[in-house]
Amino acid sequence: MNYGYVKVAACVPSVKVAHCKYNAQQIEKEILIADGKGVEIIAFPELSLTAYTCGDLFGQQLLIEEAEMALIQILGNTRQTDIIAIVGMPLPVGGVLLNAAVVIQRGKVLGVVPKTYLPNYKEFYEKRWFASATEVRATQVRLCGQLAPMGTDLLFETSGTTFGIELCEDVWAVIPPSSRLALEGAEIIFNLSASDESIGKHNYLCSLISQQSARCLSGYVLASSGFGESTTDVVFAGNGLIYENGHCLAHSQRFSLEPQTVISEIDVERLRTERRVNTTFAACGATLRGETPYRRVTTEYVNPKELTLTRSYDPHPFVPQGPTLDERCEEIFSIQTNGLAQRLVHTHAKSAVVGISGGLDSTLALLVCARTFDRLGWSRKGIIGVTMPGFGTTDRTYRNAMNLMKSLGITIREVSIREACLQHFADLGHDPSVHDVVYENSQARERTQLLMDIANQTWGMVIGTGDLSELALGWATYNGDHMSMYGVNGSVPKTLVRHLVKWVAEHGVDEESKATLLDIVDTPISPELIPANEKGEITQVTEDLVGPYELHDFFLYYFMRCGFRPSKVYWLAKQAFRGSYDDETIKKWLSTFCRRFFNQQFKRSCLPDGPKVGSLSISPRGDWRMPSDACSDAWLKEVEEME
């Protein structure tokens, strides 16, 4: 099963100006190599059969004939391959010359797409040699003894995708042809280019391709001329770029003296999901009503090959790498503080009440409160941190909670819940030596009751601490830590909470607070509802009970954000976590995720307000609306049948 992936390639072959036979041999070689690697569609640069820099030689009949003979050579020598190739050549049609992309497969010319927008640069005045597609009325062309459809309105359909083509300058236009191609159904755009290099141009090009692929919700493959083109006035760097919905999957090495082919897999299934849920895309498509529909060209059936991914998947999709992580943390923290500031001002709250456990989530909520009060110009004494030691509280977490509250300069209250819970157990007739769900949840609800009442005492509001990962798994006591008056962490995944706390430690607090924060970051995640061991250490480790959060965050991202089925999520997880978890472990926790995600929806259906910080939220008022009694059988059955 290929899970909707289409393997594509952008090739920058060796080229000699006006030496069509040599160029054809190089293209043939690259086609055969790519076919052997399972590539389904490969694109070559603009005018790759002749080279782009032929200048006034494009007016020579011999060059035009040599280009067609070269194409015949390629057709004959690749007749036995399944791969679809897109090559560039000058093509005479009706008394004019077109700069064209020719799509070939199994010895056949499937279609021809001429260039629409011709550059009017000092170094490249294409209108000197070529006519625009808009100047040609013909819809068919005879090429290599075959009659093939021609036009900018061609869509090519394979067994796995539909693709369209534009050439170089086309994508720089105000409304690129690829925009209409995407609305007509093209899921991948191929661009045959010959863009020369100048200072800053490469970054602009990458930005342009990224934006266009994101705007079109498509894959985008660009192959641009490289070494071998004339350097009389300009230099070509040989750009091979593969993008998917704004993200770069693969790129060539610029200024290489050797031919290059970059290969990756475009996830067409994900693109289709994105288009289905993006109402703006559908609305744009509706503007095409009344216009002549694009013509569809069916390609030959390709025998499916076993898929081997060349693209990689980050095991932590919510956590960017490098300098971007600091930028992400700063932006999230700002969103959280702005959201809380608005709520505090609007409600005329006199205080913010936070339960402080010495764990990651309550620490992040407290840091958000501190920053918010600072920005509002309010005294931090208006933040009431409440530590509520219980049966499972350890010295380490208690010490960290107290130290952090002291160093941040907030109001500290300590209320032990032990006696209240023992009285509650007596009222219920529950044996406190039985550490069951009653024992655990009673503590969580007692803490929430205290926080709510303290908020009433101080004319304040309770700030929720639960994070996105906990909400996805339902790892919260209903009407216990599940409830608050404003939840600042509700759309922050657990794998990112740790980095946020660490970021604040390194960028926004004093040295004393920093030491405490870093120790909290290193503390095992636990609700601390079960008594500690003889050494006073945590015995109830959350990830031992529900599974590693890094796995669950991976499952959550691809289940919710991408709409993937369990078998695809499992397949990707096996590759992303290779060497960290074995297949059985991944399958076990994926089953847990699917079961808990469905069964715990009732907790998410009544969540308090809270700010969305990323592309994914689980709020019932926003990103995720699912009945609490939705059936999970199909998902669990697929997990059970996975190998």
pLDDT grade for 604, boundaries at 50, 70 and 90: very high
User: How many beta carbons lie within 10 A of that of residue 303, not counting itself?
Assistant: 7
Residues 445, 570, single domain; the answer is yes
Residues 118, 231, single domain; the answer is yes
**Whole-number Å distance between alpha carbons of 309 and 298:** 26
Segments in 224-278 forming alpha helices (H)? 268-277
- Specify the pLDDT at position 11: 98
Cβ neighbors of 437 (< 8 A, separation 6 or more) are none
| Interval 614-641 mean pLDDT | 93
Tens of pLDDT, residue by residue over 544-555, are 889 999 999 999
Last residue of a domain, one of 282, 298, 314: 298
pLDDT grade for 531, boundaries at 50, 70 and 90: confident
In a domain, 316, yes or no: no
In a domain, 195, yes or no: yes
The three-point CA angle 225-156-129 to 5° equals 40
If we measure between CA atoms, which residue out of 191, 162, 194 comes closest to residue 266? 162
Amino acid identity of 589?
A: W
Q: Which two tokens stand for residue 491?
A: 């759309």
pLDDT grade for 643, boundaries at 50, 70 and 90: confident
Last residue of a domain, one of 264, 298, 332: 298
Residues 291, 391, single domain; the answer is no
- CA 195 remoteness from chain centre: 28
- CA 426 remoteness from chain centre: 52
In a domain, 539, yes or no: yes
- Specify the pLDDT at position 346: 98
As a whole number, the mean pLDDT across the chain is: 94
pLDDT grade for 1, boundaries at 50, 70 and 90: low
In a domain, 314, yes or no: no
pLDDT grade for 120, boundaries at 50, 70 and 90: confident
pLDDT grade for 86, boundaries at 50, 70 and 90: very high
Tens of pLDDT, residue by residue over 146-177, are 999 999 999 999 999 999 999 999 999 999 99
**Whole-number Å distance between alpha carbons of 279 and 174:** 23
Q: At what angle do helices 268-277 and 279-286 cross, to 10 degrees?
A: 80
H helix or E strand, kind and range, residue 155: strand 154-157
| Interval 386-412 mean pLDDT | 95
If we measure between CA atoms, which residue out of 630, 559, 625 comes closest to residue 591? 559
**Whole-number Å distance between alpha carbons of 179 and 54:** 30
CATH of the domain at 221: 3.60.110.10
DSSP string computed for 502-542: HHHHHHSS-HHHHHHHHHHHTSPP----S---TTS-----H
- Specify the pLDDT at position 529: 66
In a domain, 464, yes or no: yes
Residues 371, 239, single domain; the answer is no
H helix or E strand, kind and range, residue 89: strand 84-93
In a domain, 445, yes or no: yes
pLDDT cut 90: percent of the chain above it: 88
DSSP secondary structure code for residue 169 in this structure? G
Q: Work out how many domains the chain is built from and give that number.
A: 2
On the question of pLDDT at 508 being above 90, the answer is no
- Specify the pLDDT at position 542: 78
* Boundaries of domain holding 149: 7-298
Cβ-contact 31, 335 below 8 angstroms: no
To the query of whether residue 115 is one of the catalytic residues in this protein, the response is: yes
Residues 407, 549, single domain; the answer is yes
Amino acid identity of 385?
A: G
Cβ neighbors of 340 (< 8 A, separation 6 or more) are 352, 368, 369, 372, 463, 486, 488, 611
pLDDT grade for 615, boundaries at 50, 70 and 90: confident
Q: Which two tokens stand for residue 172?
A: 């720089």
- Specify the pLDDT at position 123: 61
Residues 271, 338, single domain; the answer is no
Residues 331, 250, single domain; the answer is no
In a domain, 389, yes or no: yes
Residues 355, 250, single domain; the answer is no
Residues 197, 119, single domain; the answer is yes
To the query of whether residue 46 is one of the catalytic residues in this protein, the response is: yes
Catalytic position from the list 11, 40, 115, 169: 115
**Whole-number Å distance between alpha carbons of 9 and 113:** 19
Q: Coil, strand or helix: which one is 441?
A: helix
Name the region of 526 (left: φ>0; alpha: ψ -120 to 50; beta: rest): beta
Cβ-contact 353, 458 below 8 angstroms: yes
Catalytic position from the list 11, 20, 144, 168: 168
- CA 638 remoteness from chain centre: 24
On the question of pLDDT at 270 being above 60, the answer is yes
Residues 510, 577, single domain; the answer is yes
To the query of whether residue 7 is one of the catalytic residues in this protein, the response is: no
- Specify the pLDDT at position 545: 87
Residues 256, 355, single domain; the answer is no
Residues 78, 135, single domain; the answer is yes
On the question of pLDDT at 305 being above 80, the answer is no
Catalytic position from the list 46, 68, 187, 550: 46
**Whole-number Å distance between alpha carbons of 420 and 21:** 89
pLDDT grade for 125, boundaries at 50, 70 and 90: confident
The three-point CA angle 460-465-470 to 5° equals 150
Last residue of a domain, one of 263, 298, 333: 298
Helix then strand count (H, E) for the chain reads 20, 20
Half-sphere exposure of 625 (CA within 13 A, CB side): 3
The residue whose two tokens read 């636990």 is 526
Is the four-CA dihedral 478, 587, 576, 359 of positive or negative sign? positive
Q: Which two tokens stand for residue 487?
A: 């939840």
Cβ-contact 129, 97 below 8 angstroms: yes
Tens of pLDDT, residue by residue over 211-235, are 999 999 999 999 999 999 999 989 9
Nearest 5°: phi and psi at 408? Answer: -85, -10
Tens of pLDDT, residue by residue over 12-28, are 999 999 999 999 999 99
| Interval 328-335 mean pLDDT | 96
Amino acid identity of 6?
A: V
Nearest 5°: phi and psi at 196? Answer: -75, 165
Amino acid identity of 306?
A: E
Start-to-end CA span in the chain (Å): 12
| Interval 555-559 mean pLDDT | 97
Cα distances (angstroms) measured from residue 189 to each of 23, 181, 302, 578: 24, 8, 19, 32
Length of the chain counted residue by residue:
643
Nearest 5°: phi and psi at 357? Answer: -105, -15
In a domain, 315, yes or no: no
**Whole-number Å distance between alpha carbons of 114 and 94:** 13
pLDDT grade for 623, boundaries at 50, 70 and 90: confident
Kindly report the pTM of this predicted structure: 0.92
If we measure between CA atoms, which residue out of 73, 67, 69, 88 comes closest to residue 18? 67
**Whole-number Å distance between alpha carbons of 452 and 457:** 9
Cβ-contact 275, 217 below 8 angstroms: yes
Cβ neighbors of 475 (< 8 A, separation 6 or more) are 469, 542, 546, 596
